[in-house]
Structure 1
């Protein structure tokens, strides 16, 4: 009987595929407990029902060696026989495993740090599978949305006016109990707007509260209303003026509000370096001091985060940045971070010695909720004063 006739007979025997499917399903369910490597068990499982026995021979009976030799001449056997299906699948799985190991090794070689995301696979919100790609993209984005140095040159407003505005915004931020990201994004929107759109000193506060309104809409789940911002300015500006300025800011920035923040990079670096709460909180305090420093607006958010964490580790645990695992993650060496750390040290000295009246950040971090981190004695150490001396002109 030819292979065509065998298949025809089998199809006629199974005219109702739905019924046969039910029978096969039932047989599989009954035979689940009999799966084994012994031949006897395999024979018993075949004898459990006629439906399965009538369906299976179609493969072996129709492809018998004798029938093939009668219809077609036998082809010469190849020198290397083709692998079976099981061998091919095994080779594919082995290749996939090798590629995965190679990709992981390549990724580890790039970052040269321990994979701290291994244990985060069960938490999808941490995006452990592509977190490295996310931070690579953030590094690209911070370059595209950079702030140029000395952008207020020949402006009517001065760096002192900007510092006064940011110091006031820190207090407004605390008053409204907003997220940390909102404050950083507010200052980022403010600087990016001012570097392309000069404003008069009379409208500087309007730009500041509107930048915070935009940041709230971007970051907060429940943003304050426009009337709240008009009230916080002591009704110096109306709701209509704030909404008009909002449109101008968004058009100027082309609605590109996703600039990376120093806080994003600090959280990643603190996780990689296994920093404790005290080191992380001190780094946040140092980063927030930089918001008022006009001479630091051109530094990248990742540089600010790296320098703040480096100084925090140096003050609290005397850990040099060169042996920190976060140094490999952020790809900045100690020589690159030294001038940034000097600026941060200058800000610490000016706040602690009363050389500036802008004390909102220090007062905020003197709270017990933030571990009173701005009052620790390490901030008055010789390490800080030596670093700041280069910029303050002290001997």
Structure 2
């Protein structure tokens, strides 16, 4: 008589059930392989920390430029990907090619032009960028800078963006509206340029769900993001610092993305009371006391 088959070891079978396959509904799309490729690419095209040391331009000048680019991005009604790629091109270029303050706006608008050509179906004319600068830069200057940026970056513009990682991660936790606002604030923060896009996305999502539903980072989210809660904590502290600085007016200028996310179109997410909670103040305290 054939012996009955034993039940699988409970510990093993339970372990298999811990992580749900969030890509199951996507059919044959190679999501997992694509995610690995994006991680490889973000490492290859990284931005080093403190790259502006000994530069004429400062982190405040960079923040003012990026804040202005957010306004231009809104004025031209461009895709969100275009904004993130603009800043990625800007930082990757500046860490290799220092420029004077007089050329900083030129680099910024040229980076946006290149990002538009990469992401947009309908690209603004070069003349639109000269107009938006009130004639501070010319068409000829933009076209010359475009060639310099492309040569400097070896024509490699396809850096992964935080949005790419957030889309997949938000399948596990649907808190992406607040996470997008938190991610956009990081664009202004020079002290966060060295974090990989995947880290920014995971930390923004982790903080958004902590604020909205008081849920910790789960094993499933760790599996799909590859980052555990301990790894994300210092990044979340930087994001909390950005929120606190906006709340307390320490940026010294009107933060464009805060204004945009206060509108009904963005669910007025920058106005929610959770952004003034004790969680934010506690997480930001150490960085604000030691800028």
- Give the TM-score of the pair, scaled to structure 2: 0.92
Counterpart position of 2:132: 232
Counterpart position of 2:141: 241
Counterpart position of 1:302: 198
1:114 lines up with 2:14 in the alignment: no
Distance in 1, matches of 2:134 and 2:211, equals 41
The answer for unaligned runs of 5 or more in structure 2 is 1-14
Larger radius of gyration, structure 1 or 2?
1
Give the CA RMSD over aligned residues. 1.5
Post-superposition Cα deviations, 1:218-259, rounded to whole Å, max 9, x if no partner, equal: 000001000000100001111011000000000000000110
How far off is 1:130 after superposition?
1.0
Off by >6 Å, runs of 4+ in structure 1: none
Bigger fraction of residues in helix: 1
Instruction: Give 3-state SS (helix, strand or coil) of 2:50's partner.
Output: coil
1:340 lines up with 2:232 in the alignment: no
Distance in 2, matches of 1:113 and 1:213, equals 41
The answer for unaligned runs of 5 or more in structure 1 is 1-107, 122-127
How far off is 1:112 after superposition?
6.6
1:140 lines up with 2:40 in the alignment: yes
Distance in 1, matches of 2:152 and 2:61, equals 22
1:259 lines up with 2:165 in the alignment: no
Task: Say if 1:210 and 1:242, in contact at 8 Å, map to a contact too.
Answer: yes
1:315 lines up with 2:211 in the alignment: yes
How far off is 1:328 after superposition?
1.3
Of 275, 284, 291, the match for 2:180: 284
Ranked by relative contact order (alpha carbons within 8 Å, sequence separation 6 or more), the top structure is 2
Distance in 2, matches of 1:119 and 1:359, equals 39
- Give the TM-score of the pair, scaled to structure 1: 0.68
What is the number of equivalent residue pairs in this alignment? 275
Counterpart position of 1:208: 108
Distance in 2, matches of 1:343 and 1:391, equals 7
